[in-house]
A and B are shown apart, each in its own frame.
Chain A
Amino acid sequence: MTSPSFRDMEILSEYLDGQLSPSERTRLEKRIQMDQTLAAALKELRQTRGLLRRMPQRRAPRNFTLTARMAGIRPPVPRLVPVFSWASAVAMVLFIFTLGTSLVGRLSFGAAAPRLAAAPGGFGGGPAAAATMAPANAAPATMEPAPLRTIDQAVQETPTTEAFAKSVPEATPPTAAQEIQPPSALKAPQKTFNPWLFIWPGLGVLLGILALLVWGLNQRAFQRKNRRG
């Protein structure tokens, strides 16, 4: 009596599971009747399989149901949301730009105020509204008397409101330097370089671009995730 070959054990295993054809099954059953080792091997295989089938089935320790978050599913997005997203980005650019330009305006007027306050006696730093109106009236007036005056005359004269309006462009006090300069030179201080004029709008645009970029990346990441899913 020799122990069954592995091929025989394979056939016995298939026989146990009912995987043999009727002819193979009949042939094997005849062999089992004649060969005690085959019969013993079949019995042991059946016992082994029986033990495995007796393994207790455990209940799952918890429910493994998935939440929308776990599944990476977002709630349906209304159609107008993308439009709103773009609009919010554009609005932010406009807001910052407006804020910036407004601040630039305030900064420049704020700079003019001390000059007005320092205007020679009598005027006493009048209302800001008057000061802001001054350049419009003064600009053509300065063309006539200013170049004709001498330094001494300018110093000796006590300026009145009327004279001030005529002689002081942009509500600045008549200084000696201004008096001797030609009219074209008097406008020079208005063109001084103000960096905020560029920084604020630039910052606004930059932030706006950043917001759009973040939004775009967000959208792309979500689409990629959906495609993968």
Chain B
Amino acid sequence: MDEPALILQAQHGDLEAFNSLVLAYQDALYNTALRILNDEDLAADAVQEAFLSALRALNSYRGGSFRAWLLRTVTNACYDELRRKKRRPTTPLEPETADGDEVESPRWLADPNASPEESLDQAELEHAIQHCLENLPTDFRAVVVLADIQGLDYIEVATAMKKPLGTIKSRLARARLRLRECLQGFRELLPAAFRLEEESSL
């Protein structure tokens, strides 16, 4: 795929060229939206909205990482969805205590029949991480999703978030710290995953 050529053609109104870019990046955008919103339908809506916004604003793209530029549109669409969600709150998935505080390790994650030695399968791991991501402030969540889940470098994340590099570094460190604390609650449930990482090098 000759990305620069496709972008240029799309900027000149070639919808087919733009759709080639859509097909190339739709998985990345969908995964980003899914991790930020934790809702498949909302994520799909955000991605569709993001591609429409991208098409309208395509002439404002002035080079650089096109992936980061596209991820910015989906991040903005996710923020819009979260604002809408906030205006129309629904019952939270996480159980709450009598005081209204969220239970740190909800029962749905701790299977009483499973032994501590039993490793979690991929779905449970995903649930645990998603639960911890949910507890992060939106800006921190977006940064960690872009950097650690989508694998963007710092400059790309700064482009996608439209924030200075220093802010990105700081938010990423804070997000990782908070996630680490949250995942401490699942440490016994995730030994295999941690062991694998322990063996990896820098």
| Chain A positions near chain B (C-beta within 8 angstroms) | 6, 9-10, 12-19, 43-66, 68, 70-71, 73, 228-229
Contact = CB atoms under 8 A, between A and B. Distances in A.
Contacts of A71: 15, 52, 55
Nearest to A25: B202
Interface in B11-43: 13, 15, 18-19, 22-23, 26-27, 29-31, 34-35, 40
B200 to A, nearest CB: 6
Assign chain B's interface to a size class.
35 or more
B154 interface: yes
Interface of B: 13, 15, 18-19, 22-23, 26-27, 29-31, 34-35, 40, 44, 47-48, 51-52, 55-56, 122, 125-126, 129, 144, 147-149, 151, 153-154, 169-170, 172-174, 176-177, 179-180, 183, 190, 193-194, 196-198, 200, 202
Contact of B18 (A15, A61, A66): A66
A51 B125 contact: yes
Contacts of A229: 55-56
Given A47-B197, A65-B19, A73-B13, A16 B190 contact: no
Contacts of A63: 22-23, 26
A9 B180 CA distance: 12
B81 to A, nearest CB: 15
Contacts of B169: 10, 13-14, 19
A53 B30 contact: no
Contact of B23 (A14, A54, A65): A65
A12 B173 CA distance: 8
Nearest to A68: B15
A68 to B, nearest CB: 6
A43 B193 contact: no
13 contacts: A6-B177, A13-B173, A14-B169, A14-B173, A45-B176, A47-B194, A47-B197, A48-B176, A58-B27, A60-B27, A63-B23, A64-B29, A64-B51
Given A50-B196, A55-B126, A57-B31, 10 more contacts: A47-B194, A50-B200, A51-B190, A53-B151, A55-B35, A58-B30, A64-B29, A64-B44, A64-B47, A73-B15
A73 to B, nearest CB: 6
